[in-house]
């Protein structure tokens, strides 16, 4: 994920970026997307803050980040925002 944030990998797939170091994030398509059918498109928000490893790291201090993802994500993709915890992504 750090390579995506540094734009070393998948830079061409970035849909939106807010570069703010505290509440910023990158939106990228889910890796399973076939790049054809937009009805199956899901976007993943990756926070620029490196101290967030899983949903367990979120607390009340994370609310500005979560609100920013919700507000800017909805504006840029015009869909509802859902938060999923992908267990296999954290080592």
Per-position DSSP letters for 55-86, written without gaps between them: GGG--GGGHHHHHHHHHHHHHHH-S-------
Residue 87's pLDDT is 47
User: pLDDT tens, position by position, for the chain (91 residues)?
Assistant: 666 776 767 777 888 999 999 999 998 888 888 888 877 888 888 888 888 777 788 889 989 999 999 888 877 676 555 555 444 544 4
Which DSSP category does 26 fall into? E
């Amino acid at each position: 994920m750090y390579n995506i944030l540094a734009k070393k990998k998948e830079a061409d797939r970035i849909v939106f970026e807010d570069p703010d170091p505290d509440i910023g994030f990158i939106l990228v398509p889910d890796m399973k997307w076939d790049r054809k059918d937009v009805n199956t498109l899901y976007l993943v928000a990756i926070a620029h803050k490196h101290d967030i490893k899983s949903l367990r790291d979120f607390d009340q201090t994370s609310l500005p980040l979560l609100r920013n993802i919700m507000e800017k994500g909805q504006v840029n993709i015009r869909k509802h925002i859902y938060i999923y915890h992908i267990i296999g992504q954290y080592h």
